[in-house]
Amino acid sequence: MDTARSSVVAPGPVMIALGCVAVVLGGLVAAFTGPLDWAKGSWAAAYLVLVVGAAQYVMGRMRPAGRRPDRTGWAQLAGWDLGSLLVIGGTLVATPVLVDLGSALLVAALALALLADLRAPERAGAWGTWAYRAMLLVLLASIPVGIVLSHLRN
Ligand code: HEM
């Protein structure tokens, strides 16, 4: 019974894996941006590397290994990746309402990440947890800026 439980996949390692895939994907997009003369390519590459890649990797590393099944962890993962897909798609097809929808999912995912962190007593006071919370706040603050830019430009 215990063995079966511990073998269930947790969201943290999946976030780490998806984050690594996104960094590679971002690098590939960056490589093709110049040759294809793709105007939004450098933005898409930076977004993939920083937001979908690095931030998701850190979220995965910081996901508390609590009880399983970790439904809120999966909801966080889904919100971050679906939200990012909508933000990238909405930007590439110049449809700000998709960016708005994606942003709502991203905010929900950030809230879940913050709540999980606040409920992890073993990390209280550790400097890493403050750096992590600062990262979540920077991401949260970037979202309205992205929404405004998207509406102004389209
Ligand atoms: C979850 C986090 C973020 C979201 C949802 C987001 C979203 C967006 C969107 C939708 C745009 C407008 C794209 C367009 O229509 O041209 C944009 C542009 C931009 N963002 Fe973000 N962003 C985020 C994080 C960040 C961060 C952390 C930085 C800084 C390190 C950043 C820097 C920029 C810059 C410099 C632009 C202008 C790019 C250009 O003109 O090509 N963003 N972002």
pLDDT at 60: 97
Specify the residue with its C-alpha closest to ligand 1, atom 29.
142
CB of 98 closer than 6 angstroms to any ligand 1 atom: no
Range of 48's domain? 2-63+70-153
Ligand 1 within 6 A of 149 CB?
yes
Separation of CA 71 and ligand 1 centre (Å): 29
Which mean pLDDT values do the consecutive 10-residue runs of the chain (154 residues) have? Answer: 59 97 98 90 98 98 84 97 98 97 98 93 78 97 98 95
Among protein residues, the one with the nearest Cα to ligand 1's atom 39 is: 43
Q: Which pLDDT belongs to residue 2?
A: 44
Number of domains comprising the chain: 1
Predicted confidence at residue 7, as pLDDT, reads 55
Residue 88 is predicted with a pLDDT of 98
> pTM for the complete prediction?
0.93
What is the chain written as a DSSP string? -HHHHHTSPPHHHHHHHHHHHHHHHHHHHHHHHTTTT-TTHHHHHHHIIIIIIIIHHHHHHHS---SSS-HHHHHHHHHHHHHHHHHHHHHHTT-HHHHHHHHHHHHHHHHHHHHHHHT-GGGTT-HHHHHHHHHHHHHHHHHHHHHHHHHHH-
